Chains A and B, each alone.
Chain A
């Protein structure tokens, strides 16, 4: 039953959802484990109208930018309703916003009215107020917080609106009718890689196009658990989607997640790789603690699951195809896979029921699927969950594309890829050096499949641009194509496989963006270091590959005639460690997450034409590939902690 609501803009979507879903719960807030407070679609919409009218009364114009600082809670979504229903756009940012960011965002986005979630945030904004000349109204979201002077409570603003609406004020409805598809619904500032945050302008049309293409079916009987920050576009899009489908969203937190998974029994979740890593760790811990017989049963079950699912993937054509597969190979292998499937089936059937189901119950048991996004999901984790029967659908997107570009679906569940591009979205693979289109390119064998290059995308979800940064916008978007800065390829099952970053920026698993070049330049200042390259995409900490300066070490009495000999020299490693500690420290103005605790000395120098361009710049993707094992080694060993 396809019953998602489509609309020309968010406000209209909220209205239609209220008309269709009426008393169904839209959002639920946790008071205690078994006591949640639901809010119905109708109630939420009516409250939103009151808030919108209150905002209009406070002077919010159509297309104004309204600040919305805070994390997941019902009042956040209510504030969003209020902002959308008065034809404005919100500028969201989480609770952990820094002073600099707050000042920059409020001034850059011309924010005059801002919501703050907590007393702490209220105090922060009040403290910074001298630097915020335009800010006129601050509204506190938390109902139990105490408002300071010059701050209004959410309730007050809603009451203003409610009394106006009681006397026939219908300005909110007029505002809704005035919204154009090209108007912004949100302006999201992303952590800047070059220092200052960039404001991504997303329009109603952007978000509404996502409602059409999200290939996951939900209806009024589904339950969604929300754990990711709602101010991230990934979670935001899913929350709008749940409104469109009449699904109730339950707000949980890391602290209560395990309980809430059991009590809410979600059928769907948006999630990040870290969540799955944690869950995987927890499951393995529990199995490790169980007595030997249980462990044996689990390992048998997992083994069977692996063979069963691998055959299913093969027979459905969902195995990872990085090379073209001749027809004869398929004809030859298919019966073998069918045979394996048949042999494994009865055993898997039993173990699936007796051993794997209780494990799945630990994750709520009702999950139809979950979409993982916001970073690369490690392939072992990915396989683990798919083998034990929790279909993890990895997706790919970015704030600039609001966000979904590609996602695996149940029919197209190719582990190791992010699935096929969603409907109406074009993907190009472009050669990094020559800017030649590699895919789709009928001059190349197989239309350019399996060629690696930078991913360019085009579709209705592409942002309007960076707010007040036309040059940056032009750099990123050309002729309707957006350069993602990611490396990828198209597999032979027409799925997109992400291979890393083409830009130098490293995104740690904590979400911190790290620009390696300044740090590398700093490292290269050391006489002992010839070249250095930072690594750590999707890892917890940054790491470094170091090409040592051989002569310098020889001068200092380390007897070796090659870099290879230096690699495992304890003294040399000690020297480099001290150099790194000295050069990149908090005292020198580097951030905490930029500290390098892990590194490896490389056995060979970088050469022009191989690892270096003719201008002696690092060819990062080449080095990443060549030293993939070394990098894996960096992160497999125990972290070296620096006291």
Chain B
């Protein structure tokens, strides 16, 4: 599939730029110094999160690209999405999925900082095969140059999007109230812009939705879904408590979409830019839907253990840290009774 017209008009690009700025600003506005402190203090969850975000996700993206035999431009876009740090939306979803919000925030913070180092390395590692394909195709058309991943540009665009994050953090430092407003407004704007982009794409390039082969759809949907799945099982494998499992799962699958847009717009050129953007748009759309469903599922599934956890936390808050809640025999399922994080018996106190 080729794009004969431009996917995004200059006005859309400007809109997108404003949205990226707003969202990253909003993300900064939700972060505090304590979040960074928490990252350093309790590294276990973060480490596992790190493994799943920068170990699993890029591999999942790469695997999908190979299995689905994606055209190289889409493959690179998919890998790029796989290498992204987590976004703030995952914090909101983690909250409603009864996951650990603190862990989700810590993971977002950590991965955003690490992205500067990890993204270029991972992209180089996973995408190099696909860049060769592009180079060959270009040579076949008579263009005498090699296509390379523009590593310098990518780091540059990453740094660029981190500026509004810093701005948001400064606002948060100055006024909590305004920061909260900025955060919500940014989220609101993001929905509007995403819907606008899809809407205009629908109107201007209505054929695009039909022309897009199923593999592309499958890739855009599955990369998130597999992220949820592997993130969940990996944290389960490491015997993390259910609260952490849900947070890590969502954090792994939900990537920071706006950064993808920024990198694609600033670092890549046609002919592959439009194709990459299209995949990023599809991913951003489907991830909202899939994570909504996953969140609802986790919310229902985690209801009981979350209520127990909550009760334990509040009993400890009000009755003292060494208070142990003794539930009647048979009330707690074995799974929870043996879970140290629930603090349901004296020997298991944290």
Residues on A facing B (Cβ under 8 Å): 3, 20-25, 28, 34-38, 219-223, 246, 250, 263-265, 267, 290-291, 293-294, 297, 346-347, 349-351, 353-355, 357-358, 366
> Once the chains bind, are B181 and A347 in contact (CB under 8 Å)?
no
The distance in angstroms between the C-alpha atoms of A22 and B92, with both chains bound, is 38
A-B contact pairs, 7 of them (CB 8 A): A23-B326, A25-B319, A35-B320, A221-B308, A350-B187, A350-B191, A351-B188
> Once the chains bind, are A24 and B310 in contact (CB under 8 Å)?
no
State which of A34, A219, A267, A297 has its C-beta within 8 Å of the C-beta of B185: A297
Most central of A221, A223, A267, A346 by chain B CB within 10 Å: A221
Q: A293-B185, A347-B191 are in contact. Are A221 and B315 (CB under 8 A)?
A: no
> Once the chains bind, are A354 and B319 in contact (CB under 8 Å)?
no
The distance in angstroms between the C-alpha atoms of A290 and B177, with both chains bound, is 8
The distance in angstroms between the C-alpha atoms of A3 and B315, with both chains bound, is 21
Total number of A-B contacts with CB less than 8 angstroms?
84
Contacts of A294 in B (CB 8 A): 177, 180-181, 184
State which of B187, B304, B307, B317 has its C-beta within 8 Å of the C-beta of A354: B187
| Number of B residues with CB within 8 Å of any CB on chain A | 32
Of all chain B residues, which has the CB nearest A352? Answer: B96
> Once the chains bind, are B327 and A38 in contact (CB under 8 Å)?
no
The distance in angstroms between the C-alpha atoms of A71 and B180, with both chains bound, is 41
> Once the chains bind, are A265 and B310 in contact (CB under 8 Å)?
yes
Contacts of A293 in B (CB 8 A): 181, 185
Q: A35-B318, A297-B188, A353-B96 are in contact. Are A223 and B311 (CB under 8 A)?
A: yes
State which of A21, A36, A290, A366 has its C-beta within 8 Å of the C-beta of B328: A21
Contacts of B311 in A (CB 8 A): 220-223
Q: A38-B319, A366-B310 given; name 5 further pairs at CB < 8 Å.
A: A24-B326, A219-B331, A291-B178, A294-B181, A297-B184
Residues on B facing A (Cβ under 8 Å): 92, 95-96, 177-178, 180-181, 183-185, 187-188, 191, 288, 292, 304, 307-308, 310-311, 314-315, 317-320, 323, 325-328, 331
The distance in angstroms between the C-alpha atoms of A28 and B315, with both chains bound, is 10
Q: Chain B contact residues: over half helix, strand or loop, or mixed?
A: helix
Closest Cβ–Cβ distance, residue A16 to chain B (whole Å): 12
The distance in angstroms between the C-alpha atoms of A349 and B331, with both chains bound, is 34
Q: Chain A contact residues: over half helix, strand or loop, or mixed?
A: mixed
Contacts of B185 in A (CB 8 A): 293, 297
> Once the chains bind, are B331 and A353 in contact (CB under 8 Å)?
no
State which of A25, A220, A221, A263 has its C-beta within 8 Å of the C-beta of B317: A263
Closest Cβ–Cβ distance, residue B116 to chain A (whole Å): 29
> Once the chains bind, are B191 and A221 in contact (CB under 8 Å)?
no
> Once the chains bind, are B177 and A34 in contact (CB under 8 Å)?
no
The distance in angstroms between the C-alpha atoms of A246 and B331, with both chains bound, is 11
State which of B178, B310, B323 has its C-beta within 8 Å of the C-beta of A38: B323
Of all chain B residues, which has the CB nearest A346? Answer: B191
> Once the chains bind, are B317 and A34 in contact (CB under 8 Å)?
yes
Most central of A220, A246, A357 by chain B CB within 10 Å: A220
Contacts of A37 in B (CB 8 A): 319
Closest Cβ–Cβ distance, residue B329 to chain A (whole Å): 9
Contacts of A250 in B (CB 8 A): 318
Q: A34-B317, A265-B314, A354-B188 are in contact. Are A220 and B181 (CB under 8 A)?
A: no
The distance in angstroms between the C-alpha atoms of A22 and B326, with both chains bound, is 8
Contacts of B304 in A (CB 8 A): 221
Of all chain A residues, which has the CB nearest B190? Answer: A350
